[in-house]
Structure 1
Amino acid sequence: MMRVLTVRQPWAWAIIHGGKDVENRVRNIAGDYRGPVAIHAGLAVFEEEGGGYSEVVRAIESEIQGYRVSDDYLWEVADDLEPEDPRFVYGAILGVVDLVGVHDPRDALFRPTADVDGTCSKWAEHGAHHLLLANPRPLATPIPFKGALGLRTLSADFEAAIREQTEGGSDV
């Protein structure tokens, strides 16, 4: 069965549309689970933290200007966008990603794909567990959903509604 993860905006948008391939958590909430995860945008209003929002702004600007998120240009250009931007949907499932692994910060071998600065991704935070995400699939129409803490099993009804919007109802 598919799992669901509530993520605050703008991070939920960034996971589905902005190339965010790591979700940082204080503990390994995934356990041994690997597979599809519905990304739910929580209801909490965004509060800017430590400038990380600028990376999401860059991702949005990159998409608007036709650049792929992985392009170097993404990390050079940013204009101000407000948290009320219509792309920031709250209280709904935005899409699905694949949870492909977890890096434990206590494990010296947790950086098998380390880039120049020694992290697994530009989105990875030092000292956090990194939930490694791949293959984002946005929903055409976000599905209203009430979130909760942790990585939970999604009900069959919600899973069916998601499958209807992804790849013609096939394996998400």
Structure 2
Amino acid sequence: MKALTVRQPYADAIASGAKPIENRSKPLPVKYIGVPVLLHAGAAHHASGITAVDLARITGARTHTWPDTRSAILAVIRFGGFHLADSNAHWCCRPWGQVPTRVQPEVWHWEIREVTCLAEPVPASGALGFWTPDDDVLAAVQRQIDLERTTT
């Protein structure tokens, strides 16, 4: 199973189910559509400096309950597809979808269709792009998934 690192506060927004779009500069590799991918919260905060409170305001939420976890697996997600953002369609995937700019002329919206949040974050070092977690990380995630199945 592969993992994808996303910086905070966006990783928490995805894990909570609030953010169904991940903006990237490249299309989603087709082999990741419909398969489980681990959502990893990166060690660094997003370069924009946006906070969870800012995201709550942008999305119209009254409050946020995102814990700002870093360097850990937060959830198992499945992508449903992807599309190229259109600079003329400013409504596309609002409020999460970015639009192309002169600095970033191509923006791809990766559509997140399913999120299964873990009860406890699993500490892990990440990497850019898709990466393969260590066996002990995968085992810790699997234990939580198995425990969830037996309690529901």
TM-score range, shorter chain: 0.7 to 0.9
Q: How many percent identity over aligned positions?
A: 33
Distance 1:167 1:28 in 2: 32
Q: Distance in 1 between matches of 2:97 and 2:3?
A: 20
User: Does the aligned pair in 2 maintain the 1:30–1:151 contact within 8 Å?
Assistant: no
Contact 1:102 1:130 in 2 (8 A): yes
CA distance, structure 2, for counterparts of residue 139 and residue 76 of structure 1:
22
- Give the SS at the match of 2:43: coil
Q: Is the 8 A contact 1:94 1:142 kept in 2?
A: yes
Could you tell me how far apart the structure 2 residues matched to 1:52 and 1:30 are? Answer: 29
Q: Which residue of 2 aligns with 1:126?
A: 99
Task: Decide whether the 8 Å contact of 1:12 with 1:40 is kept in 2.
Answer: yes
Q: Is the 8 A contact 1:21 1:121 kept in 2?
A: no
| 2:82 aligned partner | 102
Structure 2 portions without partners, runs of 5+? 101-106
In the alignment, which residue of structure 2 is the partner of 1:153?
Answer: 132
- TM-score scaled to structure 2, two decimals? 0.74
8 Å contact 1:163–1:169 — kept in the other structure? no
Q: Which residue pairs with 2:104 in the alignment? A: none
Q: State the one-letter code of the partner of 2:2.
A: R
Structure 1: where are the runs of 5+ without partners?
Answer: 60-73, 107-113
* Shift of residue 160, structure 1, vs aligned partner: 2.7
| Alpha-carbon distance in structure 2 between the residues aligned to 1:92 and 1:152 | 13
Moved over 6 A (4+): none
RMSD over aligned Cα atoms: 3.1
